[in-house]
Amino acid sequence: MDGNGRWATKRFLPRLAGHKKGLDALRRCVRLCMERGVGILTVFAFSSENWGRPPEEVSGLMALMASALAREVPELAQEGVRLHFVGARANLPAKVQAGFAQAEAATAHNQQLVLNICFNYGGRWDMAQAAAKVAAAGQALTQENLSAAMALAHVPDPDLLIRTGGELRLSNFLLWQAAYAELFFTDRLWPDFDAPDLDAALAQFAQRERRFGQTSDQLSPSQAN
Ligand code: FPP
């Protein structure tokens, strides 16, 4: 969800105003995904590296998260959204930690859409914590054991990865899980991301041939020759 800061700066607003608009865009995107039958949505809301931002932006994002939890969770729960918060929790404010636990408990039985909110998350953090877990359990460091120990083990690998804001990089997001994800990059700043953008991404996804290392002929043998 990149581009909140630039969205705000273009309007001579503080960066936090962009994050607030970003939250509105997330809410809209959750609804759009449900309307389109997307079953799992995973978003990057705060990276392990975002602690390095100016202190007022970091505390603003923490406060925004705490207030968003209080305001949004009852409605999300009613709409059938199941929330998971993915990332290291220990160094987050107590209010945010408690809000995560409450939100996960309140939505645990929902099945309409799984919404994974990556917060204090990094792909490298996830791989390291998974490896530590596997080693502590005395298991072999196999791909299967590592996958099962990842913070996103409760969902399959993503099919489509969308990055807004014009940058062409993954920035430590889903490094393990995105091995075969189709990538979609758009210049749209996250607060402006709306139905036409999501539909463009889904339409492009539908055109992609997913070979998973195989050849086209192997995928549709009847069309070979
Ligand atoms: C990246 O844009 C965005 C973030 C670091 C925060 C994303 C947060 C939200 C969408 C709000 C919902 C989440 C919470 C915390 C309730 P950027 O700030 O890097 O934008 P820039 O590249 O234009 O500076």
pLDDT tens sequence across 6-47? 999 999 999 999 999 999 999 999 999 999 999 999 999 999
Give the nearest ligand 1 atom to 68 CA: 16
Of 2, 4, 120, 126, which one is the catalytic site residue? Answer: 2
- For range 127-141, the mean pLDDT: 98
Q: Is 50 a catalytic residue?
A: yes
Q: Is the pTM of this model over 0.85?
A: yes
The CATH homologous superfamily to which domain 4-87+94-208 belongs is Decaprenyl diphosphate synthase-like (3.40.1180.10)
Handedness of CA 87, 91, 97, 101 (dihedral sign): positive
Of 4, 24, 50, 187, which one is the catalytic site residue? Answer: 50
- Tell whether the model's pLDDT for residue 223 goes beyond 60: no
pLDDT class of 179 with cuts at 50, 70, 90 = very high
Residue nearest (by alpha carbon) to ligand 1 atom 18: 5
Task: Calculate what percentage of the chain has a pLDDT beyond 90.
Answer: 92
Q: Which residues line ligand 1 (CB under 6 A)?
A: 1-6, 19, 22-23, 26, 45-46, 50, 61, 64-65, 68, 165, 190
Predicted local confidence at residue 222, as pLDDT: 67
Predicted local confidence at residue 77, as pLDDT: 98
For 84-123, the pLDDT digits (tens) are 999 999 999 999 999 999 999 999 999 999 999 999 999 9
For 57-85, the pLDDT digits (tens) are 999 999 999 999 999 999 999 999 999 99
Taking the centre of ligand 1 as the mean of its atom positions, its distance from the CA of residue 158, in whole angstroms, is 21
